[in-house]
Chains A and B, each alone.
Chain A
């Protein structure tokens, strides 16, 4: 009898296996391996969610040693929700990418190994219960994401990738310095060992470590004003890569921020909780403003990511309330699915029109109705219209803010929703209102349109099944 906890190990091993297999066998077989592997992973994680009693966190002791000597993997509801998001978003994206890269062997050859390592790194990150092991997983995620941006090696892409590389290395470096200080102060890197040791009056090195690690993670999450690297990287990469990066990679460092904030650094976090919230509010306003001004479609979507990440940080003054965690996880899932759909749809539009400008969208509704529909549905989630998951996320956020009389949070959330509506309708107005140009439209395989649509529809329908997702989180549904 296989214990469900070993499923977690398979979620790390499988993508590693298909990544190296794709490296050896080349792009044709590699693409199939990627799709089949992602399908198996999705099946495993759905099975886990369906059968697991999440009230009891499960621990897998790698090597059989157990912390603090060995490394533990721990799965709780929060980790499970992120695992679910990662597999459910990456499966349609692998199908999309197989078709997207089919004409370009030199790009496809490197995409599959890198995507496999990226997904393995994400899954390993979500379940790691050891701050040094988390650093290693951060390196896997960071390096594979940077390399994915650089695929194909255009001049602009390489410069975006380099900028991203420096940002992610500074982030990891700060995090690692924090880990070293923690190890120096307590002699352990296992979260389960550290948390009871911290106590009410931790040494100064611990506070410094906390600031360094949280700074590093916020830089990696591209929280305003550390977002400078995100728009060129996410806006300049190939469409499937942008989708993976915006939907999942930035969520990984956010997940760690949330986890460390509420568990390890709870004693120092309370006093400074207004800082991430303030930066989050700044991100919503600045990101939306830049999205409204954008000329290129993918830049608009990338700045929208900057803005939407702001929502994730708005809840920090409300932590460690379970309602706040539920709101931010719902936002992470809603944005993950919707943004993956949006970049996928943008990829179709850009392939069809041959240009990445808003003006190129003129009259596209009649020619690519399904893709525009997908774009509109994803936009609905980002704006937070019912019944989408975005609505559910904002609703929970506003409710949690009002329950504590922090009125500024609902105000910022609603203002952000209006600004989002402005840039979404700006794209749609180009597509609907301008008369069709005479530009020839290239045919794009239907499978790309349908996968974008599936992701967008998923982001809306998640709103109807939100209770099941929220049931994963500790504290349960009220």
Chain B
């Protein structure tokens, strides 16, 4: 009975949604034109990066806060026990992980650099670097993190990108408003922010895995 009601409600809602989307009028505002008109002053040549880091950079600043919050929330609620000691995995796996890591770092660096003119940027680069850290952890080369005892250096890396972004935003307040880049320095400042964010995002994303890891290297 309950299931039937849920299914019926989902169908009705889905129908309404489809109907609304099919009937969607052509929108009176076209932001693509505004974006194209202002690309020259944005400091980058890829529109997505221009929107994320310049036109709507304030959203991105707050989104980084959301990611940090997810990590701090995990630490606050997370396991009180220290993680189990790391156990080395299969020698072949370790060897392959060692071979794979340097190219992954290069790919991360390239994605960061490419963000200025093609799809890419700090989020993608950070995700790739985080994947390398997870790989190293799973092959027993990088130990899990203890949420209760986090060394100062790690805390600084976790928040560093956000702090850099916040400081630059506030410094630009002198020009009139928050995050108001001077057009000539915009490209450089965006690259600086994205570089900081890449490292911090890699640490945050990897942290979400490494704080919770109870992996014991394949041992029963």
* Docked-complex contact B19 and A187, CB < 8 angstroms: no
* Docked-complex contact A203 and B25, CB < 8 angstroms: yes
Bound form: Cα–Cα A207–B76 in Å: 40
Q: Do most interface residues of chain B lie in helix, strand or loop, or is the interface mixed?
A: helix
Known pairs A63-B57, A64-B175; A136 contacts B63 (CB<8 A):
yes
Stretch at the interface among A178-186, A289-297, A315-323: A178-186
User: CB within 8 Å of A: which of B22-38?
Assistant: 23-25, 27-31, 34-35, 38
Known pairs A69-B35, A69-B55; A13 contacts B166 (CB<8 A):
yes
Number of A-B contacts defined by CB within 8 Å? 159
Stretch at the interface among A42-50, A81-89, A95-103, A140-148: A140-148
* Docked-complex contact B152 and A24, CB < 8 angstroms: yes
Bound form: Cα–Cα A140–B166 in Å: 16
Known pairs A68-B34, A153-B80; A63 contacts B59 (CB<8 A):
no
* Docked-complex contact A147 and B24, CB < 8 angstroms: no
- At the interface, yes or no: A133 with Cβ under 8 Å from chain B? yes
Interface size on B, residues (CB 8 A): 55
The interface bits of chain A over 202-230 (1 if a CB of B lies within 8 angstroms of the residue's CB, else 0) are 01110010000000000000000000000
Stretch at the interface among B66-74, B108-116, B136-144, B211-219: B66-74
The interface bits of chain A over 143-160 (1 if a CB of B lies within 8 angstroms of the residue's CB, else 0) are 110111011110000100
* Docked-complex contact B73 and A188, CB < 8 angstroms: no
Write the nearest CB–CB distance from A202 to chain B, whole angstroms.
9
What chain B residues lie within 8 Å of A153 (beta carbons)? 76-78, 80
Known pairs A63-B181, A106-B148, A136-B62; A186 contacts B24 (CB<8 A):
no
Which B residue's beta carbon lies closest to that of A184?
A: B24
- At the interface, yes or no: A20 with Cβ under 8 Å from chain B? yes
Known pairs A24-B155, A110-B72, A117-B69; A137 contacts B177 (CB<8 A):
no
Known pairs A20-B163, A24-B155, A71-B59; A140 contacts B29 (CB<8 A):
no
The interface bits of chain B over 45-60 (1 if a CB of A lies within 8 angstroms of the residue's CB, else 0) are 0000000001111110
Other-chain contact of B54, A63, A193, A197 (Cβ < 8 Å): A63
Interface size on A, residues (CB 8 A): 56
* Docked-complex contact A65 and B72, CB < 8 angstroms: no
Across the A-B interface, give the 7 residue pairs with the lowest CB-CB distance, nearest first: A147-B73, A187-B27, A150-B77, A110-B76, A187-B29, A64-B180, A205-B20
Q: Which A residues lie at the B interface, using CB under 8 A?
A: 6, 9, 13, 16-17, 20, 23-24, 60-65, 68-71, 106, 110, 113-114, 117, 120-121, 124, 132-133, 136-137, 139-140, 143-144, 146-148, 150-153, 158, 161, 181, 183-188, 193, 197, 203-205, 208
Listed A/B pairs (10) with beta-carbon separation below 8 Å: A13-B169, A60-B177, A63-B179, A136-B66, A147-B73, A150-B77, A186-B29, A188-B27, A188-B31, A193-B29
